[in-house]
Structure 1
Amino acid sequence: MNVLVIGGGIAGATTAMALRQAGIEAAVYEAYPKAADGVGTALTLSPNGRNALRQIDADDAVAAVGIEVPGMVMQNHRGRVVGRFDGLPELPSSLLLRRDRLYRVLMDEARSRGITVEFGKRLKSVENKADRVIAHFADGTSAAGDILVGADGIRSAVRSALDPVAPAPRYTGLLGLGGWIRNPGLPVTGSYQHFAFGKRAFFGYFIGADEILWFSNVPAADPAEAKSASPEHWLAVLRERHADDIPARDIIALLKPEDVAQPGILEDIPTVRTWHRGRVVLVGDAAHPTSPSSGQGASQAIESSLELARALRDNPDVATAFAQYEAARRERVERIIARAAKINNDKAAGPVARIMRDLLMPVMMKTVMSPEKMFGDLHRHRIEFAPSPASV
């Protein structure tokens, strides 16, 4: 079997590696002309994502470029701790990663295993035939295979080819700003990530000895503003939205316009109706795009990569394999998307809801919001993925 993987991000690289471990040949076709160095800010890889990486022997490489974070601290706008989540027993810590470093290490790992990666291959159209599939690229070239995997993100061209009337990404009402700056001497936060429900925006930060990671989710009615306003405008917005928030205002006071990149638009799609048709299938954000508030985007992409590779390894019939893969994944990922949508609503809570949250959260942390109840099912999920004899 020969598989064409469209997209060279997290889902694309891990799918190719999982397929290779299952004894299936795969090649990756990436739209951009080079690797995604300098693209994106940061993400968290959760324990379930790390366990999935361990199944394809890629966790050590990723951990080498990440920061171990055993838990998170929740604060209100005054800086008071209202909740703390520690990691669960017998699970690896989460990893805080620069997004581009994760892209790079996964791509390097895939190439080191003999997987072909071609850049500058923007998908133009797909021929989904009974016995093969052909990808046509904007540069005039094409590639043929037995299966085509769409790992090309929330605005997937492969998804549009499968379903021309597929739902468009849904705006969550939040814009995301963030980045890394040098630490001029602020006290370090230890190894925990901190998240603060500010008065007018949500703020997250991690203060290390040398660098500070910061991000803000700003409610905005019109996402078009994200593409047109200047860095100076967004720095002024951050100062205004977090003027009453501790310690957000102290970190934002360190920022210069060049530290404030164009905001990202937080989006999701609650349900992607068509995951596969014929010899074409979706994986990662192409199949189940969740907003960054889930903290699970990368981890779920890796999990889906393994489930798809396992289904193709265990079922000679493509239709049966695709159905098994979707059955294993859809309910879990759509539950995570819905959960993230609720988190987005809480980030943009009004003054009454904010007061109630601050009052109730310490009590809820001891009952319905304990780490085990909040993250047990999510983080303990494990996919057993023994190598195919043909790949050993």
Structure 2
Amino acid sequence: MSTTRTSGKKALVIGGGIAGPVMALALRRAGIEAEVFEAYETSAEGIGGTFMIAPNGLGALAVVGLEAEVGRIGQPVGPMVIEDGKGGVLVEFAGLPDLPRGRLMRRAEMYEVLQRRLRETGLEVRHGKRLVGAEETADGITAHFADGTSATGDLLIGTDGTGSTVRTLIDPAAPAARYTGLLGVGGYSPYRLPGRAGRGETVHFANGARAFFGYWGLADGSGTAWFSNIPQPEQLSYEQVRAVSPEDWLRRCRELHADDLPAREVLRVADAGTVETFPRLEIMPSVPHWHRGRMVLVGDSVHAPSNSSGQGVSLAVESAVELARCLRDLPDHTEAFAAYEAMRRPRVEKIAADAERTNNQKASGPVGRMVFRLVAPIMMRTFMSPEKMLRPVHGYRIDWERRVAPVTPVRRAGRAA
């Protein structure tokens, strides 16, 4: 993996979750110094649920030398099976044979890989640094933190999630993340699925009678991982969610899926001690301003699709690597930010819009779910074939060696050339 010589620039990366460390590693490869600042006082080892890294995300991670390490954690994603909630198969997505298989993993596993690579690379995450303001000058930008300290660099990059402070500094009127109307509950069950599913070779999604259910067998054959997207019109706070015991959340899932198979059997023996709840299933509306001056946004801070897309992490790491390319090739940061936005906005907003339609269908009620079960097989045989649906998303690859050109300004009608 070739590395560009140091440019002399320094970037302040705000947010130490997933996108922030990838951003710092990509900048290092582009020859730009990076420093990562995390609001929380401690690291996030062991925290977080399960997500998927899709083939396009694995391709982006390969650019920063992480493909092999990430490929050793979690388990590969086999064919995705869409079911009718009664155990019947509506359609099966076998994936694209020329692409690597995505991987299901715990967020904590991915976080550990990233933190280890940062240490090996000599990059440090500074904890307890909650951003409260930023001050620009002609020569740089200074970030101010709640603990009274500050840091100065040439650029400030917001990888600080859907509640981004950097987004509000760029544009105080920027939209906030929007609740999807769904609450996530998930956990582990010792129930062993039959056949391929029990060997962890397939991932299943079912639109049940009252809620959406997803499940897959663990690769070691020990049981089943599961989740339910529960329609919840009013978003609950973390405090409200924690006030309900794991046993009660599991009881609610059992009630919602009492008529669904195999959800009913999976949940019947599920372990309440493994139940996790996720009240902040959110989506970012279109953000008018991705950058201003020396500040720019990356990942969930600017383009968080809903969890229905299976693309949140993959799009975030793609954007981190693409921004690093733009900063490498376009010395003027204004030009680099413009090229980055032009490169990324159409792709991420298309994926987010598609996922929002899926969310609407999940929360549509019994009639809507029944209609979906009727029309899904026809849709999959026509305009929603795996090739048409997956190729544009999963087939995206970043050509690190290709030079980035400045964006050509759009000529406005009625103005002289």
TM range (shorter): over 0.9
The 10-residue stretch of structure 1 (227-236 or 332-341) with the greater mean CA deviation from structure 2: 227-236
Shift of 1:126: 1.3
Aligned counterparts, 1:99-178, within 5 A: 99-178=107-186
Deviates more, 1:165-174 or 1:255-264: 255-264
Task: State whether residues 77 and 201 of structure 2, in contact with CA within 8 Å, keep that contact through their aligned partners in structure 1.
Answer: yes
Contact kept, 8 Å, 1:194 with 1:206, in 2: the verdict is yes
Larger RCO, structures 1/2 (Cα 8 Å, 6+ apart): 1
TM-score, scaled to structure 2? 0.89
Q: Which residue of 2 aligns with 1:192?
A: 202
Matched, 1:44 2:58: no
In the alignment, residue 10 of structure 1 is paired with which amino acid?
I
Aligned to 1:222: 234
Query: Are residues 1:341 and 2:365 paired?
Result: no
- Alignment-mate amino acid for residue 22 of structure 2: T
Question: Is the 2:189–2:270 contact (alpha carbons within 8 Å) kept by the matching residues of 1?
Answer: no
Deviation of the 1:236 alpha carbon: 2.4
Cα distance between partner residues in 2 of 1:282 and 1:132: 17
Q: Shift of the alpha carbon at 1:384?
A: 0.6
Once residues 163 and 312 of structure 1 are traced to their aligned partners in structure 2, the CA distance between those partners, rounded to angstroms, is 22
Tell me how far 1:182 sits from its aligned partner: 5.6
CA drift of 1:233 comes to 3.1
What is the distance in 2 between the residues matched to 1:362 and 1:383?
Answer: 33
Size of the aligned set, in residue pairs, is 387
Note the alpha carbon deviations across 1:44-86, whole angstroms, 9 max, x for none. Answer: 1111111111112111111111211132111111011111101
Q: Which residue of structure 2 lines up, in the alignment, with residue 213 of structure 1?
A: 225
**Which letter does structure 2 place at the counterpart of 1:283?**
V
Q: Distance in 2 between matches of 1:164 and 1:59?
A: 37
Query: What is the CA deviation profile of residues 291-347 of structure 1, one whole-angstrom value per residue up to 9, with x for unaligned ones?
Result: 111100000001101110000000110100000000000111111111110010111
**CA drift at 1:199:** 0.6
8 A contact 2:80–2:204 mirrored in 1: yes
Cα RMSD for the two superposed structures:
1.7
Mapping for residues 235-246 of structure 1, pairs under 5 Å: 235-246=250-261
CA contact (8 A) 2:192 2:217 kept: no
CA contact (8 A) 2:284 2:300 kept: no
1:52–1:339 CA distance, 2 compared to 1 (3 A): same
1:150–1:283 Cα contact (<8 Å) kept: yes
Shift of 1:281: 0.6
Q: Residues 382, 344 of structure 1: CA spacing in aligned structure 2 closer, same or farther, 3 A cutoff?
A: same
Paired residue type of 1:266: L
Aligned AA for 1:248? A
Structure 1 residue matching 2:134: 3-state secondary structure: strand
Q: Distance in 2 between matches of 1:116 and 1:258?
A: 34
Report the counterpart of residue 399 of structure 2 in structure 1.
Answer: 384
- Mapped to 1, the partners of 2:402 and 2:110 lie a distance apart of 23
Q: Is the 8 A contact 1:46 1:95 kept in 2?
A: yes
Paired residue type of 1:62: V
Instruction: String of CA shifts for 1:225-281, please: whole Å, max 9, x gaps.
Output: 764141243222211111101111112112344332333221112211111111111
Question: Which deviates more, 215-224 or 230-239?
Answer: 230-239
Contact 2:191 2:266 in 1 (8 A): no
The range that moved more, 125-134 or 142-151, is 125-134
Q: What SS is found at the alignment partner of 2:86? A: coil
* 1:1-392 alignment runs, 5 A limit: 1-179=9-187, 181=188, 183=190, 185-187=192-194, 188-208=198-218, 209-224=221-236, 227-228=239-240, 229-231=243-245, 232-386=247-401
User: What is the deviation of 1:224?
Assistant: 2.3
Residue range with higher mean Cα deviation, 227-236 or 146-155: 227-236
CA distance in 2, matches of 1:215, 1:190: 15
Pairwise CA distance, 1:39: 1.7
SS of residue matched to 2:57: helix
SS at match of 1:8: coil
Contact 1:170 1:269 in 2 (8 A): yes
- State how far apart, in whole Å, the 2-side matches of 1:50 and 1:261 are: 26
- Specify every segment of 5 or more residues in structure 1 that has no aligned partner in the other structure, as ranges: none
Taking only the aligned residue pairs, the percentage that are identical comes to 50
Once the two structures are TM-superposed, the CA of residue 185 in structure 1 deviates from its matched residue by 4.3
The CA distance in 1 between the partners of 2:386 and 2:102, in whole Å, is 14
Whether the 8 Å CA contact 1:33–1:119 is kept in 2: the answer is yes
- Provide the C-alpha distance between the structure 2 equivalents of 1:210 and 1:370, rounded to a whole number of angstroms: 33
Q: 1:210 to 1:35 in 2, by over 3 A?
A: farther
1:125 deviation in Å? 1.4
Query: Which region of structure 1 is more displaced relative to structure 2, 308-317 or 106-115?
Result: 106-115
More off after superposition, 59-68 vs 319-328:
59-68
Distance change >3 Å, CA 227–CA 262, structure 1 → 2? farther
Letter in 1 for 2:157: V
Q: Does structure 1 retain, via aligned residues, the 8 Å contact 2:12–2:155?
A: yes
- Residues 186, 375 of structure 1: CA spacing in aligned structure 2 closer, same or farther, 3 A cutoff? closer
